[in-house]
Amino acid sequence: MRVSVDLARCDRNGLCVMAAPEVFQLDSGGLRFIEEPDEELRPDVEDAVASCPAGAIALLDITTPPASASGHA
């Protein structure tokens, strides 16, 4: 999974930090986050996405495309 944050929309209220402190940190430099957290943190990240009043956080699934089955070289 990949976390994406629109920092222009983020109002830095810290609800994401409360939901997923292993992924999000808020300090004097602004919001910091882990872009590709461990999959075991997915429930907490989903809570962070849902709790963001600005809608600034997105959770993207990272998938590896399957190898081409067309047989073309």
Q: pLDDT for 61-71, tens place per residue?
A: 887 555 555 55
11-60 tens-digit pLDDT: 999 999 999 999 999 999 899 999 999 999 999 999 999 999 999 999 99
Distance CA 45, CA 63 (A): 18
Residues 47-57 have pLDDT tens digits of: 999 999 999 99
Q: What is the pLDDT of residue 28?
A: 92
β-partners of residue 57 are 5
Q: How far apart are alpha carbons 60 and 65 in whole angstroms?
A: 15
Asked whether the beta carbons of 49 and 71 are under 8 A apart, the reply is no
Does residue 73 have a pLDDT over 80? no
Write down all domains in the chain, each with its CATH number in brackets: 2-60 (3.30.70.20)
What is the pTM assigned to this prediction? 0.81
